[in-house]
Amino acid sequence: DIQMTQSPSSLSASVGDNVTITCRASQSISTYLNWYQYKAGKAPKVLIYAASSLQSGVPSRFSGSGSGTDFTLTISSLQPEDFATYYCQQSFRTFSFGGGTKVEIK
Amino acid sequence: EVQLVESGGGLVQPGGSLRLSCAASGFSFTSYEMNWVRQAPGKGLEWVSYISSTTNTIYYADSMKGRFTISRDNAKNSLYLQMNSLRAEDTAIYYCARLRLTRGGRWFDPWGQGTLVIVSS
């Protein structure tokens, strides 16, 4: 099984800050890496697929990069609606998620 | 509008069974591979199972093998998850999700709103 390690597990930030979340795979997964936003009581929402492709309708302040084993999600100029939990997911071999990163208001 | 609506969750005793359903609308269900994902209280997202569009290929997460069975009825635009021998640790919100494909990528979109399963005596 492919293990996904996300860091940090939580962070505090202010509106307008730039935020970076990292995800590491236990083996190479090429670009089969996705990022999701999760808010309690709502369906998870894909932000970035195939490591760096922005899902239609997602604000351009979200961006993703990386390939192989190391990946990054960047939120530029954090907005109030961005406070949520973010998960990476590998889809190279079946599927697995990282442990999540909770982005909280400082 | 593409929509997935789960149902069938509820309270069940340890060792019991439950069948979840996911009704799809707004797209050609027959053409898409589907998945179940769960989130236990205070935990992260956990992939549960995958089924191909024709049911030829099925995968399960290791902790679910032998207890859970995924299936679909393309004529009814519906996805199912039969859960047997339920344990307290199966308590979670269960989501169905459609698989999207592109060169170099596979991702889940959309997801349903989820159905809550509570395993407790």
B-chain residues near A47 (CB < 8 A): none
Give the largest CA-CA distance in chain A: 38
- Residue A32 sits at the chain B interface (C-beta within 8 Å): yes
pLDDT at A41: 87
**Between A106 and A49, the higher pLDDT residue:** A49
Mean pLDDT across the stretch B57-78? Answer: 96
Whole-angstrom distance between the N-terminal and C-terminal Cα of chain B? Answer: 39
Strand partners, B78: B23, B73
Torsion of CA B58, A37, A67, A32, to 10 degrees: 20
CB of B105 closer than 8 Å to CB of B99? no
In B85-95, which positions are buried (b, 16+ CB within 10 angstroms) versus exposed (e)? ebeeebbbbbb
- Flag whether pLDDT at B83 surpasses 90: yes
Q: What is the pLDDT, as a whole number, of residue B17?
A: 98
B108 vs A46: CB contact, 8 Å cut-off? yes
Answer yes or no: do B111 and A91 touch at CB < 8 A.
Answer: no
* Cβ atoms A75, A62 nearer than 8 A: yes
Provide the pLDDT for residue A49: 98
Find chain B residues with C-beta within 8 A of A71's C-beta.
none
Interface test with B, best of A52, A93, A95, A97 (most B CBs within 10 A): A95
- Judged by a CB distance cut-off of 8 A, whether residue A51 touches chain B is yes
User: What is residue A64's predicted lDDT score, i.e. its pLDDT?
Assistant: 98
What proportion of chain A, given as a percentage, has pLDDT over 90?
Answer: 96
pLDDT band at B5 (very low <50, low <70, confident <90, very high): very high
Mean pLDDT of A26-33: 97
From the list B12, B9, B76, the residue with the least C-alpha distance to B36 is B9
**Binary contact (B47, A44; C-beta < 8 A):** no
CB contact under 8 A, A49 and B44: no
Bridge partners of residue A6, in order along the sequence: A23
pLDDT for B104 equals 86
Average pLDDT over residues B28-35: 98
Query: Residue B26: pLDDT band by 50, 70, 90 thresholds?
Result: very high
pLDDT exceeds 90 at position A84: yes
Query: Which whole number is the average pLDDT over B67-81?
Result: 98
Contact B108 A89 (CB under 8 A): yes
Q: List pLDDT tens digits, range A11-29.
A: 999 999 999 999 999 999 9
pLDDT tens digits, residue range A49-82? 999 999 999 999 999 999 999 999 999 999 999 9
